[in-house]
Chain A
């Protein structure tokens, strides 16, 4: 499935290096450009969010990095390619296996990587404790709330020990209040771990709260519109939302997106 990411040959600094990646598929006889000449380098240990109108190819790019979709042309290199799980994915919802207990779900990546039972269950238990689901190891996902299920999905990704986490709107299906709580937890977790994270989100506030850097994409075909560095110091809390700087940044990103979002709305 994955056309084989290779370790970056030059420099070796970036954790992810994508160069001139394009994705074209056919709708009838019409070629559709989902992504056009998109390039992105991610520094190791950075948290980056991609925002953009629907259909701009942001999820497609994430899925290409994760090996879930093939790129049409372009180069992708991951430093962690030799790791058992080069990139750990967190899906929006329904990504945890309903037929596995919470513990088995969290240990799944390690199991596929060939880690022994004792070790993988120890690691999974530690991660369950860290996402405050220690008491639910033997439960099945349907017994949990939506927020708890997403914590399972996040724990599963972290538990693999993969240097790169790819998150496709991981909090997108949660209600607004659960979502705010989860943002705080995700910030705290990430600040302890400092994995390279690339996250796709619709939520501008979420992008500012969580990330070091925000990639704003244009509408279809997806290209890079602006690369924004988020100025807030770490450790962070959601309290930064009350600062004027936050409002300005949010307005700036929204101004970049507004026209494309409207266009995407009208063609949909």
Chain B
């Protein structure tokens, strides 16, 4: 702290109206207060990192000491060893690539279509009247239940899996986007009209940016749901690739380490996608608080 005032007020460059000793005492108290607050913050940070580390260590110790059954809960180091082995042999990638492709193609297209339809429905009263009730009725239907129908139509190919992810994402995005358009402050829509924004200008400058916060929160929800659906679809006999298949197959063959590897990688994919989304939201919507 270079700003510590001189103990003698007379030697201070700018004469303070406060008596020097009182100022000193007050500043010392204020610094002590700030130091306590900083110490607490450091403690919180340490706790938030230490707690998971301790749990994993505990898991490791318990598995090695056979306190928990390592057949069901293999030690973290065993899982990591399996991960390394699967990386080397290429087995991991043969399962990760198809899952990623299904997620990105199905989810990407589903999100684009969902946002587009949502924007159209939000802007057109007639379209919303025609499609709104229909989509609302379909929304609570568990999309995974449609999968057998898709299999029946398209056979056990990639297409039904991608479509299952597509449908899931589409519905979440369509509903979020419509809500986003409706949530735009009326005043802002009026300001747009008052300054002559009509047609495409109104869409580009008012409706689209106004709906973006809801679009992004929809994308976060959709990512979570899409990861669930892709895993579930890969659990079914219709798939012989994918992380879902890896997990399911490892259960059937009773190779618990690989099961946990599949779980870990799926978790990482979900976390990475969610992080990318919030990063791009910060980048694309700098006007959000």
Query: Which residues of A are in contact with B by a Cβ distance under 8 Å?
Result: 1, 66-68, 84-85, 87-89, 91-100, 108-109, 112-113, 140-142, 156, 160
A97 touches B191 (CB 8 A): yes
B212 pairs with A160, CB closer than 8 A: no
Report if B205 contacts A (CB, 8 A). yes
B205 is contacted by which of A1, A95, A108, A160 (Cβ under 8 Å)? A108
B 183-206 contacts with A by CB, 8 A: 185, 187-188, 190-191, 193-197, 201, 205-206
Shortest B161–chain A CB gap in Å is: 37
**A94 adjacent to B185 (CB under 8 Å):** yes
- Whether A112 contacts B193 by the Cβ 8 Å rule is no
Which B residues touch A142, using CB under 8 A? 287, 289
Count of A-B contacts judged by CB separation below 8 Å: 62
B287 touches A140 (CB 8 A): yes
Most buried by A among B187, B195, B289: B195
- Give the CA-CA distance A84 to B198 in the complex, in Å: 13
Closest Cβ–Cβ distance, residue A88 to chain B (whole Å): 7
**Which bucket holds chain B's interface residue count?**
20 to 34
Main secondary structure on B side of the interface with A: helix
In contact, B287 and A113 (Cβ under 8 angstroms): no
In the complex, B218 has a CB within 8 A of chain A: no
Measured CB to CB, the residues of B under 8 A from A are: 185, 187-188, 190-191, 193-197, 201, 205-206, 209-210, 212, 285-287, 289
Interface of A is mostly: loop
Q: Decide if B212 touches A99 in the complex (CB within 8 Å).
A: yes
* Residue in A88, A94, A98 whose CB lies within 8 Å of B195: A88
Contact A112 B197 (CB under 8 A): yes
Known: A97-B205, A97-B206. A109 touches B195 (CB 8 A): yes
Known contacts A91-B187, A140-B287; decide if A1 and B193 are in contact (CB<8 Å). yes
Question: Once the chains are docked, how many angstroms separate the CA of A100 from the CA of B286?
Answer: 10
- B287 contacts which chain A residues (CB < 8 A)? 98-100, 140-142
How long is the Cα–Cα vector from A74 to B209 in the complex, in angstroms? 37
Choose one: B187, B191, B193, B196; the contact of A84 (CB below 8 Å): B196
Jot down 21 A-B pairs with beta carbons below 8 A, ordered by A.
A68-B193, A68-B194, A89-B191, A91-B190, A95-B187, A95-B188, A97-B188, A99-B209, A99-B210, A99-B212, A108-B197, A108-B205, A109-B195, A112-B201, A113-B196, A140-B287, A141-B287, A142-B287, A142-B289, A156-B195, A160-B195
Closest to A96 in B: B191
Given contacts A94-B187, A95-B188, A142-B289, contact A67 B194 (CB under 8 A): yes
Contact residues in B for A93 (Cβ distance below 8 Å): 187
Taking CB atoms, residues of chain A closer than 8 Å to B212 are 99
Q: Residue A85 contacts which of B187, B196, B210, B286 (CB distance < 8 angstroms)? A: B196
